Amino acid sequence: MKKETSNTYNRTYPISWEQLQRDARALSWRLVDKGPWKGIIAITRGGLVPAAIIARELDIRLVDTVCIASYAERDRGNIKVLKSKDGDGEGWLLVDDLVDTGKTAQVVREMIPKAHFATVYAKPAGRPLVDTFMTEFSQDTWILFPWDSEIQFVQPIAGQGAQES
């Protein structure tokens, strides 16, 4: 399925709440021995849910945020820092849902360069900017997160493109 708003995505991969929880918990297994952590810094908004799951799994109570505005339909590619984090990030775990093109990741890496950057999902363009990730997707796949979707009827594959006589 092609995403309507972009010609750079040739397929869509929906992530359910259950899959996101499983993947974030699996990412926690990769992170448990890399600590101890001073706390977690979630990149809003996408990193909030994975950060909450990881905080629970790693028994971390201190969770902060950096607030970045990106992926707005009208300003695609423009990134605004709405809330930053003081310090260089030493000892902190930085969490986001996905590293895609790496534009947001680059801004956050410059802001807090010594934080350990973990994402649940990664794509090739942004993957070099993160330290740990769980699952990689192709660059042309649009990841449809559960907070961005709702359940609805989908035409069966055999019926797609069929013309009425």
pTM of the model as a whole: 0.84
Mean pLDDT of 3-10: 58
Mean pLDDT of 76-101: 92
pLDDT computed for residue 77 by the predictor: 64
DSSP state of 42: E
3, pLDDT greater than 50: no
CATH number of 21-145, picked from 3.30.750.24, 3.90.340.10, 3.40.50.2020, 3.90.1150.10: 3.40.50.2020
Strand 39-44 and strand 63-69: the pairing is parallel
pLDDT tens for each residue of 106-121:
999 999 999 999 999 9
Contacts of 14-19 with CB under 8 Å at 24 or more apart are 14/144, 14/149, 15/121, 15/143, 15/144, 15/145, 15/146, 16/146, 17/146
What is the identity of the amino acid at 73? Answer: E
pLDDT tens for each residue of 20-79:
999 999 999 999 999 999 999 999 999 999 999 999 999 999 999 999 997 655 445 688
Mean pLDDT of 142-160: 87
For residue 163, what pLDDT band results from cuts at 50, 70 and 90?
low
pLDDT computed for residue 72 by the predictor: 56
123, pLDDT greater than 70: yes
Tell me how far apart the alpha carbons of residues 43 and 66 are, in angstroms, rounded to a whole number.
5
* Active-site residue list: 96-97, 100
List beta partners, residue 99.
122
Tell me how far apart the alpha carbons of residues 119 and 105 are, in angstroms, rounded to a whole number.
10
Question: Of the candidates 148, 8, 31, which has an alpha carbon nearest to the alpha carbon of residue 77?
Answer: 8
